[in-house]
């Protein structure tokens, strides 16, 4: 008898290979495509057709946008930090893909799940740890299995599918591209060779020559740290982020060339483009700087860096992540107000902030006016710098 297994499916070469590979080993394959914003309607239809022609037992498509916003974007913006100070964790939709696969497994009453991750990258770590954290499951990774015997894995996969009468897309890409609601990443080719990216290594963001000549102005309203309106229109979070991508990508906002330490120990070098997330982070940070205390603004990045590390390295369900999110949520109690963003191309900045919680003193304005006297200022400086002044006095030769 066939055993039911749920396969996280994208319709690409790797996951297409997984279907007949698993079927020939006695599995009834049920595919799940979690649409996290990286495909259009035509591609979505292709994925469903591809699953059917490969002979799956069932296929479902899940709208992953709302879960991606609530499960990742909200706490990420609260944290306000990229991995190693730069990378905005654009592959974090993997955790929502796992959730969709496990939900389908529960519907089918099976404890077997599969994925098409290779044995060379970070995604296998994220997928496996996310599954293990949520129960006892049998994890099958066909691409890792065939890597034990075949060095030219993708060529072997193509031959395997063609030998069974399944066509393989002729579409060739110079780069490995990952795309979802959060943004787009590109690697491969000259990027992997530590050379300057070629002219073709561009995704959503327009090049400098194509930037619009007029500045872009966008108003975002936040309630307790969550963006809720765009230019006065209340939108669901994932819709708002998609709109921001469309607004800021023509201005080249959110593009970077990043080198970092991967989970598996290698150096990773990618181009990333995250126009919407970059705009959200800029607006949220400007609001926080105005309404949080000095101590909050100083301490919060420490929490943020640890939260980002956990998410990047696969510990999405570790209790420490939940602990840190409790602090981050608490820190957002008064992060409410409206921020106006401006871009002239290449970057985005906050040019206006409005909130009833801005920490402005009634009788004082920095470097302009104060409601304290000269003696008070001199006394504060004396006491505040006492330790350093004493050191200089004692050790003066």
Tens place of pLDDT per residue across the chain (397 aa): 569 999 999 998 999 999 999 999 999 999 999 999 888 899 999 999 999 999 999 999 999 999 999 999 999 999 999 999 999 999 999 999 999 999 999 999 999 999 999 888 889 999 999 999 999 999 999 999 999 899 888 889 999 999 999 988 765 567 888 899 999 999 888 999 999 999 889 999 999 999 999 999 999 999 999 999 999 999 999 999 999 999 999 999 999 999 989 888 889 899 999 999 999 999 999 999 999 999 999 999 999 999 999 999 999 999 999 999 999 999 999 999 999 999 999 999 999 999 999 998 776 666 677 777 889 889 998 999 999 998 898 998 6
CA angle 344, 348, 351 (to 5 degrees): 90
In contact, 121 and 264? CB cutoff 8 Å: yes
What was the pLDDT predicted at 2?
A: 65
Q: In sequence order, which residues have a C-beta less than 8 Å from that of residue 105 and are 6 or more positions away? A: 6, 111, 112, 113, 137
Q: How far apart are CA 215 and CA 252, in angstroms?
A: 12
Strand stretches in 156-208, DSSP E: 176-180, 183-187
- Structure-token pair, residue 236: 């669901």
Is 225 strand, coil or helix? coil
Is 26 strand, coil or helix? coil
Is 152 strand, coil or helix? coil
- Structure-token pair, residue 83: 């991995």
Rounded to two decimals, the pTM is: 0.90
Instruction: Kindly give the pairing relationship between strand 58-63 and strand 112-114.
Output: unpaired
What was the pLDDT predicted at 275?
A: 98
What was the pLDDT predicted at 329?
A: 98
């Amino acid at each position: 008898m066939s055993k039911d297994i749920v396969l996280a499916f994208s319709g690409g070469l790797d996951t297409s290979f997984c279907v007949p590979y698993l079927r020939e080993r006695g599995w009834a394959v049920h595919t799940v495509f979690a649409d996290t914003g990286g495909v259009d309607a035509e591609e979505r239809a292709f994925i469903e057709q591809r699953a059917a022609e490969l002979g799956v037992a069932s296929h479902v498509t899940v709208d992953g946008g709302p879960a991606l916003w609530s499960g990742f974007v909200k706490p990420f913006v609260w944290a306000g930090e990229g991995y190693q100070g730069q990378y905005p964790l654009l592959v974090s939709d993997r955790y929502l893909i796992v959730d969709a696969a496990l939900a389908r497994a529960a519907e089918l009453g099976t404890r077997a799940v599969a994925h098409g991750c290779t044995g060379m990258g970070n995604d296998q770590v994220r997928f496996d740890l996310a599954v293990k954290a949520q129960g006892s499951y049998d994890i099958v990774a066909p691409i890792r299995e065939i890597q034990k015997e075949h060095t030219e894995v993708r060529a072997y996969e193509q031959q395997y599918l063609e030998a069974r009468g399944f066509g393989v897309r002729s579409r060739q890409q110079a780069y490995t591209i990952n795309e979802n609601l959060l943004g787009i990443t590109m690697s491969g080719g000259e990027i992997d060779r530590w050379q300057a990216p070629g002219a073709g290594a561009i995704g959503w963001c327009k090049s400098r020559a194509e930037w619009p000549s007029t500045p872009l102005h966008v108003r975002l309203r936040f309630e307790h740290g969550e963006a809720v309106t765009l230019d006065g229109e209340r939108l669901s979070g994932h819709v708002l982020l998609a709109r921001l991508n469309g607004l800021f990508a023509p201005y080249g906002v959110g593009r970077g060339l990043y080198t970092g330490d991967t989970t598996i120990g290698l150096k990773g070098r990618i181009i990333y483009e995250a126009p919407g997330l970059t705009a959200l982070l800029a607006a949220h940070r400007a609001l926080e700087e105005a309404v949080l205390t000095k101590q909050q603004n100083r301490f919060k990045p420490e929490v943020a860096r640890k939260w980002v590390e956990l998410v990047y390295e696969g510990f999405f369900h570790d209790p420490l992540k939940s602990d840190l999110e409790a602090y981050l949520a608490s820190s957002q109690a008064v992060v409410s107000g409206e921020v106006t963003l401006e871009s002239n191309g290449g970057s985005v900045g906050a040019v206006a902030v409005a909130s009833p919680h801005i920490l402005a003193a009634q009788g004082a304005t920095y470097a302009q006016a104060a409601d304290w006297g000269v003696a008070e200022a001199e006394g504060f400086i004396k006491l505040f710098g006492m330790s350093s002044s004493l050191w200089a006095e004692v050790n003066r030769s």
